[in-house]
Structure 1
Amino acid sequence: MRKKKEASILYIVSTPIGNEDDISLRALKVLKKVDAIICEEEKIGALLIKRHNFSAQLEQLNEHNEENYAPQLIERMENGETFALISDAGTPIFADPGRFLLQLALDAGINIIVIPGASSIMTALVRSGFQSDVFTCAGFLSRTTEERLSQLQALALEPRTTILLETPYRLKQLLEAANKVMPDRKAYIGCNLTMAFEHHHYGTFSELFAKFTESPFKGEFVIVFEGHPGRTILSILDTNEKKKARTSERNNDEVTKLESDESTERPQREFRKRPDFSKERSSRFKSQDGGYKKRDAGGYKKRDDGGYKKRDAGGYKKRDDAGGYKKRDDAGGYKKRDDAGGYKKRDDAGGYKKRDDAGGYKKRDDAGGYKKRDDAGGYKKRETGGYKKRDDSGYKKRDDRRSSRSSNDAGMRPPRKRS
């Protein structure tokens, strides 16, 4: 057992939840003698000190600095200082900062004394008139709509009386969600409890939602609603025990079957071996002379030791035996396509794509039908004499010479014959 230090004390003191007269005499005595008061909001702590004329100094501890500042407070307690932890309203630590400080104090063996006081949860539970010997407090629900609905759906199956807490500006959202999940469930809403102007509301969630929609309220409140009428704690426990029993039996059956399979050395699962189609597939595409995918007498793709795509010796891909290939790394830097010089030249001094031996043009037939691109006239010639001239006089000439498409002396189409 850890030995507690006599001089090291941390008091957890409850403060009023609304009515200032609810602070206990014991709480006042403790707050007067401690060295420092740890509060969540310094402004509220200062009002408490001023109202009761305390001399203790204030130490602010909240969710923003608790992790870093709590160890320093523990060190001061170990040196003999006494502290009192208070909340803005009600009991500290419950839905408030201070839990991390409490854990550090427990680990350090510091003496901890709780001073009870007013509680909004117990006040609302007793005032509601619902069953209070067995109840559950769900605290603050999620801020997001979807998660809030999911939580209420789970709480709707709860057989015990349930208590909900929420911030003053989120009453309407909470009632709207409860109205969707359990509109006919009886509920109680206690507003501004312990105050002289406190008020209370009873009805189903559907009725309460309509009431507060018509008359909005912004202030402190607590919601209490009845448990599920068709469920009890014993029925839930019995259902849980049955589920555990079924799960245990299923696990035992699986273990027994596994042990049986291991004892008989049988595999737990048999797999069918896929047949090997590789030989059949290769023989299907293989020709009689050992080549693959033969297409014609000379032009084919051969994939065995004879004709293949060569990539290393000359830096080209060889496709047949007649020298028709794409050369990539020759000194000329071009792709050669045939033996007669018909190729695309890329790095010559002329900087053009040459496709035949003379004239630098694309040749299309033997009779001179071609497109000439680099002649001094700068035109596209189509056949002997028939062309479109573009740059000598800025026009397209069509009728100086006759083209193969012309059918009369004027260079126009012959008239249609009428039948």
Structure 2
Amino acid sequence: MRHKLHPGISMTTLAGTLFVVATPIGNLQDMSPRALQVLKDVKLIAAEDTRHSARLMQHFGIGTPMTACHDHNERDKGGRLVERLLAGDDIALISDAGTPLISDPGYHLVRQAREAGVKVSPVPGACALIAALSGAGMPSDRFAFEGFLPAKAHGRRQRLQALAAEDRTWMVYEAPHRLLECLQDMQQELGGERRVLLARELTKTFETLHSAPLAELVAWVASDSDQQRGECVLVVEGAPAPEGDAVGDDALRVLDLLLAELPLKRAAKLASEITGVRKNLLYQIALERGNG
């Protein structure tokens, strides 16, 4: 029960909480105990598709009322949900699968709630892109997520051209019916040697994680129609450093000598001026050598 307002307590103090709840992307055992408890305790669940989520709720015996909150109604629906939050109701936001807002609806509701002073509490769990990255065996200290590439070939190739020089590991989601043509466009724009991991049907019965240079991956997917089904994540190896960025032993010796006497940033800057190697690259090397 809510208590009467005391002097100095604002209305938002008594507001409810918006819980952003991750749900399984396939294997129902990935539903966390905390997520289950939150979904049982809140007054309302805002779901991307109530019909889809009804099956999940039925499986776990959750009878909390649901309302639809998706791309087409989120801006209008958000205001009414925020009113309920301000009145003291706790609400959970879920998507069809995985973590809300990650290439799924929810951004507008979360933003409206925060702007109204409502507490937003993430309840973490399954996320396809993080699951794929964790199994890719590619550098993961820095990475980029590009969501879905454009559906039409021209727009997709333009985006891939812009990503061709990205040196971080990067990821995209792709629909199964566009997977092969997307990989073919990647081969055209990134080259056949660029390594890509196809993560398909993660956590499900036919889970596949297959990594290969693009030329091999295109041929493998083209030869097996089963690999063109289900939810797909593509994890792309970052672009190799240009030849001019090669760091020889002399540059490393200069960097080490300067690091012994100077702060990291100053040492990287002077080493760059002396050797011609990019400052940011030398800075990163110094961090990796334990000079942080």
- Tell me the TM-score range normalised by the shorter chain: 0.7 to 0.9
CA separation of 1:192 and 1:110: change in aligned 2, threshold 3 A: same
How many angstroms apart in 1 are the aligned matches of 2:278 and 2:182? 26
Residues in 1 aligned to 2:105 and 2:124: alpha-carbon distance in whole angstroms: 17
Residues 1:67 and 1:214: Cα distance change in structure 2 (over 3 Å): same
| Equivalent position to 1:105, from 97, 109, 113 | 113
State yes or no: 1:207 paired with 2:225: no
Given that residues 162 and 225 in structure 1 are in contact (C-alpha distance below 8 angstroms), is that contact kept between their aligned partners in structure 2?
yes
* Separation of aligned partners in 1, 2:98 and 2:39: 15
Measure the CA separation in 2 of the matches of 1:236 and 1:103.
39
2:257: which partner in 1?
Answer: none
TM-score of the superposition, structure 2-length normalised? 0.77
1:218 maps to which residue? 229
- 8 A contact 1:5–1:111 mirrored in 2: no
Counterpart residue type for residue 116 of structure 2: A
Superposed displacement of residue 46, structure 1 = 0.7
Counterparts of 1:230-379 in structure 2 under 5 Å? 230-231=241-242
Alpha-carbon distance in 2 for matches of 1:100, 1:210: 41
Partner of 1:156 in structure 2? 164
Evaluate the alpha carbon distance shift between residue 95 and residue 236 of structure 1 in structure 2; reply closer, same or farther with a 3 A threshold.
farther
Larger Rg: 1
Corresponding residue SS for 1:175: helix
What value does the CA root-mean-square deviation take over the aligned residues?
Answer: 2.0
1:5 aligned partner = 13
Listed as ranges, the matches of 1:45-56 within 5 Å are 45-56=53-64
Secondary structure in 1 matching 2:135: helix
In terms of fraction of residues, the more helix-rich structure is 2
**CA offsets, 1:101-127, max 9 Å, x none?**
111101111111100001211111121
- CA distance in 2 between partners of 1:236 and 1:86 (Å): 44
2:126 is aligned to 118
Q: Which runs of 5+ in 1 are unaligned?
A: 240-419
Q: State the Cα deviation string for residues 324-357 of structure 1 (Å, max 9, x = none).
A: xxxxxxxxxxxxxxxxxxxxxxxxxxxxxxxxxx
Deviations 1:49-84 (A, max 9, x none): 111111210110111111221111111111121110
1:16 to 20, 24, 33: 24
Aligned residues: 237
Equivalent residue of 1:128, what SS? Answer: coil
Partner of 1:95: 103
**Which runs of structure 1 show a deviation greater than 4 angstroms over 4 or more consecutive aligned residues?**
234-239
Question: 2:77 & 2:142 partners in 1: Cα distance?
Answer: 38
- Correspondence for 2:148: 140
Structure 1 residue 6 displacement after superposition: 3.4
Between 1 and 2, higher relative CO (CA 8 Å, sep ≥ 6) is seen in 2
On the 8 A contact 1:71/1:104 being kept in 2, the answer is: yes
The equivalences for 1:187-198 within 5 A come to 187-198=196-207
Give the aligned residue type for 2:210.
H
Deviation at 1:237, TM superposition (A): 7.4
The aligned residue for residue 227 of structure 1 is 238
Give the distance between the partners of 2:60 and 2:197, measured in 1 at CA: 35
Aligned identity (percent) is 36
Shift of 1:5: 2.6
